[in-house]
Amino acid sequence: MQIPLQYKDFNVLTIEVKYSKGGINYFSGSSDRRGIYCYVRPEKVEKYEGYATRSFVIGEERQYKFLLSEEKRLNRKKLAEFQAKVEKLNGEELKELYLAGSQQSVTQIVRNAVLQ
């Protein structure tokens, strides 16, 4: 899901649901569990003739991820189901909460929608 946004040099708020194999997180130094995560980050999207670029800053203060479901293996059906549920969320509400710095509220809305 990409939501139009004006924040610093970014013009889109991206909310993605992806599977992660887990393991060592070299950025934080911790170990990530294997499972389905939701990634929330601001991006700069630039469109050109026939292609577009997406840029983001690693370590951006308002970039975060959270675990939706711990999984031992990739479950494509569950991943697609979670992705579809996130796409149906109210992007404007999520954007306003994100801009207000309410990471907990964004996390709760996504979790509630996905895990129902």
Distance between CA atoms of residues 31 and 10, nearest Å: 29
Domain, as residue range, for 99: 2-114
Residue at 103: amino acid letter: Q
88 by Cβ neighbours in 10 Å (0-12 / 13-18 / 19+) ranks as: exposed
Higher-confidence residue of 27 and 102: namely: 102
State how many domains the chain has: 1
pLDDT tens-digit profile of 44-80? Answer: 999 999 999 999 888 788 889 999 999 999 999 999 9
**Taking the model in full, what pTM does it have?**
0.88
Among all chains, which residue has been given the structure tokens 């129902």? Answer: 116
Mean pLDDT of the residues in the chain: 92
